[in-house]
Amino acid sequence: MPRRIGLPSLYLAAAAATAVTTAIPLAMAPASGLASRPPVTEPTRPFIVTVRDRAGARDLVGEMRWRVRRFYTAALPGFATLLNASELAELSADPRVVAIEPDREIRPMPVTRSTARRTRRATRATGKGVTVYIVDSGATHGRTGAFRSGNPHMSGRAETLRKPDGLGDRLWSAFDATGRTGEDCDGHGTRVARAVAGRSHGAAPQASVAAVRVLGCGGSGSLSDALAGLDWVRRHARDPAVANISLDGADSPALRTAMARLARSGVFVVAASDTGRCRLSPTGETYSARAPRLAGAAARYLELHPAANPSVLASWLKCAATRDTIRQNPSRALRTGRP
């Protein structure tokens, strides 16, 4: 296995490709519509626009290219843009548009410790060969670094991050929506990575972890950046794959759409929940207060059953509307492949 330090060449190329595909086509000829109007002086606000299909999204981006901030092509057909009141009204009436919602602040959810006993290593599965994408605040790469968290779920005082619990070269920075290096200056993403795949206490101690940074150093980020992270994962996830999204944006229609599309593509999506229950969404993503542990359990299963789809995984984890508890001893399922 090639040594992964920082951003591997494969992911560097993928990130560059994503930047090209999501950048606004400055050379695009103006299309009819809002962009052809004279400039206006009304105040604008940021919004997320979800469109019916890619062709419609591409056309609308062409019409509004001067204010489009992000263009999504994989997580959902749509874009992030700035609109004034009259433009918002006109775009809302456009038949190509499915929904418009304000871009807003996104914060991480608490990392809840599991009360379940550790699965015995006799199950053989450790998550080896599975990649878990941590959509969060990035991750610290095997060095000591100080940070002061602005996250209310963290301590709020200056802390020190040391080498992430034996993750070593299994952890790398895959994508950074904030335009930085992927390093975790908040601490939340590193803690999630440790809970998923730390060698001492992680649920899947041999899984690979790809850090997808969408949060800043203050412990928060934007919905548009979170969607950019999911857009990247949807384009570049390597099967078998799990995505852990411990963010508070579950009430966002655009984010739910992006997670559902990711789940339908074959990536097992685990999102954080503020309740103790584990539930499976009708659109395929799974919600749990112990999302990192559930992501690790999914990685263990995928090691032995790499072709399993998310619904099979959810069934094995007993995570459905009528069965709300996570199986405490999954050894039989890991040996036989049956719940």
Q: Which domains are present in the chain?
A: 31-103 (3.30.70.80), 121-328+331-335 (3.40.50.200)
Q: Which amino acid is at 126?
A: T
State the pLDDT at residue 26.
34
> Pick from 291, 107, 109, 136: which is nearest to 213 by CA?
136
Flag the least confident range among 84-88, 147-151, 162-166: 147-151
State the pLDDT at residue 81.
95
State the pLDDT at residue 19.
43
pLDDT at 140 over 50: yes
Q: Report the mean per-residue pLDDT for the chain.
A: 76
Q: What is the pLDDT of residues 224-266, one digit of tens each?
A: 999 999 999 999 998 899 999 999 987 899 999 999 999 999 9
State the pLDDT at residue 179.
86
pLDDT at 209 over 70: yes
Q: Distance between CA atoms of 61 and 274, rounded to whole angstroms?
A: 36
> Pick from 281, 279, 226: which is nearest to 248 by CA?
226
In this structure, the number of other CB atoms found within 10 A of the CB of residue 150 comes to 16
Q: Distance between CA atoms of 323 and 339, rounded to whole angstroms?
A: 12
In this structure, the number of other CB atoms found within 10 A of the CB of residue 40 comes to 12
Q: What is the pLDDT of residues 265-310, one digit of tens each?
A: 999 999 988 776 778 888 888 888 889 999 999 999 999 989 888 8
State the pLDDT at residue 112.
66
Q: Which amino acid is at 221?
A: G
Residue in this structure with the two tokens 């609109």, named with its chain if needed: 83
High-pLDDT (> 90) share of the chain, %: 46
In this structure, the number of other CB atoms found within 10 A of the CB of residue 158 comes to 9
pTM: 0.78
Quickly list H helices, 127-176: none
State the pLDDT at residue 115.
44
pLDDT band at residue 39, thresholds of 50, 70 and 90? low
Q: What is the pLDDT of residues 311-335, one digit of tens each?
A: 777 777 776 433 333 343 344 443 3
Q: DSSP letters along 192-226, please?
A: HHHHHH-TTT-SSTT-EEEEEE-B-TTS-EEHHHH
pLDDT at 2 over 90: no
Cis peptide before 43 (omega within 30 of 0): no
Higher pLDDT, 29 or 60: 60
